[in-house]
């Protein structure tokens, strides 16, 4: 991983020189039939095509999932990176009155989607042949592959970004979802204030941990800059917004989340999300 940061620093130069290098190789392959049959040449030609498609803005990345789902996390990250993508708006089956009705939109139990993700959940991605599930893992992969400074500079940062993402999924998300469902998401008659209150109490300690981490690290979770770790944790903490008392007790969390939500990439994702039918 030590070599990764120096490779990352060379990326602009490599990107500038790559088209030239690849065209030299494939021109040589065209001129010399013996070269054309080597694996190396085939790989170089494939790389050249991928690079040309990428430069032309043709998305190699597909994101499965509507904005009103955890796909929001991946869409936000793609906008942060400036990564083009094709979205397949797979909707949660439970949101449809009759998912089996003829003409029902593509949903998480559709056989076509289950062939992509047998778990029947969104988001999933397909990136140049690689299929991945699990929103936070998807984001860590995209940040490392395409995200520059949004991803880790070394193995220690990689460890911290993974740690915070798993922290979000295990320490915070189950309770934050209960806050969301029982204070805002469910129809009023189905909300249980006791469940919401228990979840708020369960979140007090993780919020205090997050608050201390942000205070001690200058307002970001890893490396003194906005990274995929902030994005992944912020998307989970957002579910707890219907409990303002948690944010009042954690001023650094409140300021950090507000700053995350001011980012143009987040606002773009949210504006699109708000245009989607609820
Ligand atoms: N741990 C998974 C959870 C995925 C998940 O539960 N997604 C929900 C939408 S936010 C879903 O697809 N639900 C569909 C269903 O339960 O039918 C992740 O973070 O990607």
The residue extents of the domains of the chain are 4-55, 61-149, 152-275
Q: Is the pLDDT of residue 23 over 50?
A: no
- For 78-119, the pLDDT digits (tens) are 999 999 999 999 999 999 999 999 999 999 999 999 999 999
- For 121-147, the pLDDT digits (tens) are 999 999 999 999 999 999 999 999 999
Give pairs for 89-93: CB < 8 Å, separation 24+. Answer: 89/65, 90/64, 90/65, 90/66, 90/122, 91/66, 92/66, 92/122, 93/120
CA of 71 to the centre of ligand 1 (A): 9
Half-sphere exposure of 200 (CA within 13 A, CB side): 20
Ligand 1 pocket test, pick from 90, 92, 172, 185 with the greatest ligand atom count within 8 Å of Cβ, gives 92
Same fold, 61-149 and 152-275: no
In percent, the amount of the chain with pLDDT more than 70 equals 79
Q: Is the pLDDT of residue 159 over 80?
A: yes
Q: What is the pLDDT of residue 264?
A: 98
CA of 173 to the centre of ligand 1 (A): 12
Please, what is the Cα angle at 38 between 36 and 43, to 5 degrees?
90
Whether 260 and 210 have beta carbons less than 8 Å apart is answered as: no
- For 38-48, the pLDDT digits (tens) are 333 334 444 44
Ligand 1 pocket test, pick from 65, 70, 134 with the greatest ligand atom count within 8 Å of Cβ, gives 70
CA of 213 to the centre of ligand 1 (A): 28
The architecture (CATH level 2) of 61-149 comes to 3-Layer(aba) Sandwich (3.40)
The CATH class, in words, for 152-275 is mainly alpha
CA of 24 to the centre of ligand 1 (A): 46
């Amino acid at each position: 991983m030590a070599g990764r940061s120096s490779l990352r620093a060379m990326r602009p130069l490599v990107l500038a020189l790559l088209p030239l290098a690849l065209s030299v190789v494939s021109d040589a392959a065209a001129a010399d039939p013996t070269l054309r049959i080597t694996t190396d040449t085939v790989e170089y030609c494939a790389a050249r095509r991928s690079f040309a498609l990428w430069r032309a803005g043709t998305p190699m990345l597909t994101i499965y999932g509507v904005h009103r789902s955890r796909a929001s996390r991946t869409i936000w990250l793609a906008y942060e990176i400036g990564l083009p993508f094709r979205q397949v708006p797979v909707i949660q089956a439970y949101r449809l009155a009759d998912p089996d009705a003829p003409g029902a939109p593509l949903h998480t139990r559709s056989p076509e989607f289950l062939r992509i993700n047998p778990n029947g959940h969104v988001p999933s991605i397909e990136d140049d042949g690689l299929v991945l599930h699990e929103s936070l893992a998807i984001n860590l992969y995209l940040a490392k592959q395409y995200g520059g400074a949004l991803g880790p500079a070394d193995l220690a940062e990689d460890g911290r970004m993974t740690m915070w993402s798993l922290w979000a999924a295990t320490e915070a998300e189950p309770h934050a979802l209960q806050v969301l469902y029982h204070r805002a998401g469910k129809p009023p008659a189905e909300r249980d204030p006791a469940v919401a209150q228990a979840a708020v109490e369960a979140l007090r300690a993780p919020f205090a941990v997050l608050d201390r981490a942000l205070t001690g690290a200058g307002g970001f979770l890893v490396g003194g800059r906005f990274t995929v770790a902030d994005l992944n944790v912020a998307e989970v903490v957002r579910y707890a917004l219907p409990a303002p008392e948690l944010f009042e007790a954690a001023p650094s969390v409140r300021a950090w989340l507000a700053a995350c939500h001011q980012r143009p990439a987040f606002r773009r994702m949210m504006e699109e999300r708000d245009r989607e039918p609820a």
